[in-house]
Amino acid sequence: MKLRIKKNQKKRILPVLSAVIICLLAGLWMIQPDFARAAQTDEDPVLIGYYENEVFQEGAKAGEVKKGYAYEYYLKLSEYTGWKYEYVYGSFSDLYQMLLDGKIDLLAGLAWKENRKDLISYPEQPMGNEIYSLVKHSMDMDITTDPASLSGKTIGVLDSAMEDVLNRFLKERNVEADVRPYPDYKTLFADFDSGKLDVLAAEGDGAYGRKDAEVVIPFGESDYYLCVSKKRPDLLKELNDAQEMLSVEEPNYIYSLKAKYYPATLSAMAFSEAEKTWLDEHSELRVGYLENYMPYSDTDEQGNATGIVKDMTSEILKQLRIDDLKVDYHGYQSFDEMIAAIDEDKIDVAFPVGGGLYYSEENGIYQSNPVVSVSTQLVYRDEYSEDTIRHFAVNENNRMQYYYVLTNFPDAEITLYPSIDECLEAVLAGEVGCTTLNGLRANDILKNSKYGKLSLQQLGRNDDRCYGVKIGNEGLLKILNRGINIVGADFAQSIAHRYTSELYTYTIKDIIMDHVALFVLLILAIAAIIIFFLARDMKRSKKEVREKESARLILEEKNQELAQSREALSHALDEAESANRAKTAFLNNMSHDMRTPMNAIVGFTDLAGEHADDGEQVRNYLDMISVSSQHLLSLINDVLDMSRIESGNLNIEEENVDLAELINELRTITQTDAASKNLELSFDTEGLQHWNVVTDRLRLSQVLLNIFSNAVKFTPEGGKICFSAEKNLLILKERRNMSSGSRTTESG
């Protein structure tokens, strides 16, 4: 069946279809953002506007480290929502417009405004609360806490809800001032610092402290929100759910976040009138501290203060930029002495102070904000029971411990001891049921092996350690509290660990005591090993003894043989040395014997040369040379016969010798040497009865020639040598004429 439409019917249908299509397109356009968002996945980042605002959020450039109140808040929300962020950078005004246009999803720090509620989405809970303050240059004395002093002044303010609050404040007080809005804090702060502005309107949580700035008038406060683009209702719901869960699970999160970042703000750095007055009136800060109370305070070997008191006080003054205040430290053995020093105005501040506000008031002092807040440890022996806490040992020099026990265990009996060590020993001895230790001190003190039987139990209530100042000293107390807030709670905790090691040094003895069973097993194992090796060595020793005895006997035999060899060698060496000495003596004698005939030969040869024309005289000289030569030849033959010397056999040649002839030959041989010294020779042989004798001619010649030679050698020039022979005894006399300078020598 074919459908037919008449021409006039077509004319009526076309307008209807057109209207339907237009309605469909309009509907699609209206729901287009939801369709577009529905198409997104969980992997799509949340676009968050990120502008530079000191302390609130910093690092508004790609690649810069981000930090600040808002940045940390974003990350906390991400823990509940799973959001991944993409940061879009710009000025506050530019990012606000992007939020209106739907180009970013979130923007932080917006106050609630009636005219904004239809433009952006506010969550149910604010992300924080801020106080608005007017800040002047500290040197400008025209501006005071009286709002009327603002008349005619230029006031810079961020173009935000704060501007409305400021204008309302000025209008209510009939103040005519020049209010100048700024798109961002960067240019606002720059103009204030350069002096183009008289007054800066600042958020208490968002303006970093300046040394030349001073808060004069707070002019309002406001909650601020993390606002959502109208095009992202899905994010608004997730944000509301996350904030609700955060408030339930971490109800103090916003407070702690504010406490973390607020100390660095401008209002925290601006001194009050009381603080200024104290600083103007004091050039020195006198700090009293408790000795023997590490890591809080003590006196080192050089007599200087050490511990948290030294580092914390220095850091407070540094952060507050108080450079011209001298600090003088005074140590005290007991808490009572230190508090008395405050009362007597010997010191301005005491550290540490604790035990509760009531007892501090009773002592006439203010407590500062806590420098350190740690748990208190109950120390006891054996099993814990109700009886354990009925009797406490307390250090009489630490009144803070006394106040703590008195406050938290009012029915307990307290016994005072001179030191904490004696308190612990009293617990060990059973004299008391327990004592207490500050949480920063407990573990290190109990490292001592003698306290190994003691146990720890953390008590429910912390015990703060604070500065203490005299009641009425408002200025100093505010300075200390301001400094503690700026430095932060983590500083003292972090430096405490540098000093706890000084409470007790863990020694080798402690290691042994803590691992007695292990060391006993180790000693037994070592003993077993030693016994094993001893037994093995005993078995070996018997065999080794036998082997050593056998070796000893062999060695003794070898030693005996060696001794015999040494003795034989020594005997041979003695003989060789004796032979060598004999040879040396013989050669020395022969050289002496040969010198005399040699001199005669030389002398007669010279004379023969001088009388060459006289044949008879030459022949006479030649005869004398012949005699001397024969004598020299016999000596040389004797020298060449060395075998007789080496063998020790010297043969005596017996022959008939004519003494007259022999003596005449000797005179001939020595005459030349005597003549060279102008000596007179005299020979007397009349007393001889026997001229022919049997003797060794060579040996007798050597003996007589040595006598003649010595006589010639030792007789002074011009002297006289006399030789006489009587019977068969030859006597050689040497006379010396003392008057003429000559000498006479006799020898036989």
Q: Tens digits of per-residue pLDDT, 680-698?
A: 888 887 777 777 888 888 7
CB 204 within 8 A of CB 269: no
Q: Is the pLDDT of residue 3 over 60?
A: no
Burial environment of residue 502 by CB neighbours within 10 A (0 to 12, 13 to 18, 19 or more): middle
Residue 677: strand pairing partners? none
Q: Which amino acid is at 479?
A: I
Of 7-16, 123-132, 466-475, 501-510, least confident by mean pLDDT is 7-16
Q: Is the pLDDT of residue 330 over 80?
A: yes
Mode of pairing for the β-strands spanning 305-306 and 298-299: antiparallel
Q: Is the pLDDT of residue 573 over 80?
A: yes
For residue 339, what pLDDT is reported? 95
Residue 452: φ, ψ to 5°: -65, -25
Chain-centre distance of CA 401, in angstroms?
A: 37
- The residue that leads in pLDDT, 483 or 651, is 483
For residue 570, what pLDDT is reported? 83
Residue 181: strand pairing partners? 157
Instruction: Give the residue ranges of DSSP H helices in 43-157.
Output: 69-81, 92-101
For residue 126, what pLDDT is reported? 94
Cis check: omega of the bond before 147, within 30 degrees of 0: no
Three-class SS state of 418: coil
Q: Hey, what CATH class is 376-461 in?
A: alpha beta
CA distances from 233 to 30, 94, 217 (A): 14, 22, 40
- The residue that leads in pLDDT, 357 or 231, is 231
19 CB-near residues (< 8 Å, 6+ apart): none
Of 121-125, 189-193, 532-536, least confident by mean pLDDT is 532-536
Of 105-109, 188-192, 605-609, least confident by mean pLDDT is 605-609
Ranges 211-225, 319-333, 544-558, 561-575, most confident: 319-333
Q: Which of 708, 726, 720, 639 is nearest to 669 (CA)?
A: 708
Ranges 91-100, 637-646, 647-656, 662-671, most confident: 91-100
Token pair for 156: 């810079």
CATH number of the 275-372+465-514 domain:
3.40.190.10
Q: How far apart are CA 665 and CA 722, in angstroms?
A: 16
Residue 61: φ, ψ to 5°: -145, 155
Q: Express as a percent the part of the chain with pLDDT over 90.
A: 36
Question: Same CATH fold, 376-461 and 106-269?
Answer: yes
Residue 144: φ, ψ to 5°: -125, -170
Provide the residue ranges of all domains of the chain, joining segments of one domain with +: 1-39, 106-269, 275-372+465-514, 376-461, 528-651, 652-748
Token pair for 290: 């408790």
Q: How far apart are CA 708 and CA 668, in angstroms?
A: 11
Q: Is the pLDDT of residue 8 over 60?
A: no
Of 331-335, 572-576, 649-653, least confident by mean pLDDT is 649-653
Residue 728 — very low, low, confident or very high, per pLDDT cuts 50/70/90? Answer: low
Q: How far apart are CA 199 and CA 213, in angstroms?
A: 10
DSSP 636: H
Q: Is the pLDDT of residue 102 over 90?
A: yes
Q: Is the pLDDT of residue 338 over 90?
A: yes
Mode of pairing for the β-strands spanning 372-374 and 326-332: unpaired
Stretch 253-268: mean pLDDT, rounded? Answer: 69
Residue 437: φ, ψ to 5°: -135, 140
Of 59-68, 134-143, 358-367, 605-614, least confident by mean pLDDT is 605-614
Q: Which amino acid is at 246?
A: L
Stretch 489-503: mean pLDDT, rounded? Answer: 78
Q: Is the pLDDT of residue 1 over 70?
A: no
Q: Tens digits of per-residue pLDDT, 413-452?
A: 999 999 999 999 999 999 999 999 988 888 888 888 888 8
Stretch 159-172: mean pLDDT, rounded? Answer: 88
For residue 167, what pLDDT is reported? 92
For residue 209, what pLDDT is reported? 54
Burial environment of residue 115 by CB neighbours within 10 A (0 to 12, 13 to 18, 19 or more): exposed
Q: How far apart are CA 118 and CA 230, in angstroms?
A: 8
Chain-centre distance of CA 632, in angstroms?
A: 94
Q: How far apart are CA 73 and CA 380, in angstroms?
A: 44
- CA end-to-end span of the chain: 190
Q: Hey, what CATH class is 652-748 in?
A: alpha beta
Q: Hey, what CATH class is 106-269 in?
A: alpha beta
Question: Buried (b) or exposed (e) across 574-600, using 16+ Cβ within 10 A?
Answer: eeeeeeeeeeeebeeeeeebbebbbbb
For residue 329, what pLDDT is reported? 97
Q: Express as a percent the part of the chain with pLDDT over 70.
A: 84
For residue 718, what pLDDT is reported? 87
Specify the pTM.
0.49
Three-class SS state of 137: strand
Q: How far apart are CA 696 and CA 689, in angstroms?
A: 19
Mean pLDDT over the full length of the chain: 82
Of 391-395, 586-590, 674-678, 728-732, least confident by mean pLDDT is 728-732
Q: Which amino acid is at 350?
A: A
Q: Is the pLDDT of residue 352 over 90?
A: yes
Q: Is the pLDDT of residue 491 over 80?
A: yes
- The residue that leads in pLDDT, 687 or 240, is 240
CB 703 within 8 A of CB 716: no
Residue 641 — very low, low, confident or very high, per pLDDT cuts 50/70/90? Answer: low
Stretch 236-244: mean pLDDT, rounded? Answer: 95
Ranges 419-428, 483-492, 509-518, most confident: 419-428
Q: Which of 288, 486, 281 is nearest to 369 (CA)?
A: 486
Of 26-40, 605-619, 641-655, least confident by mean pLDDT is 26-40
Q: What does the radius of gyration of the chain's CA atoms come to, in whole angstroms? A: 64
Q: Hey, what CATH class is 528-651 in?
A: mainly alpha
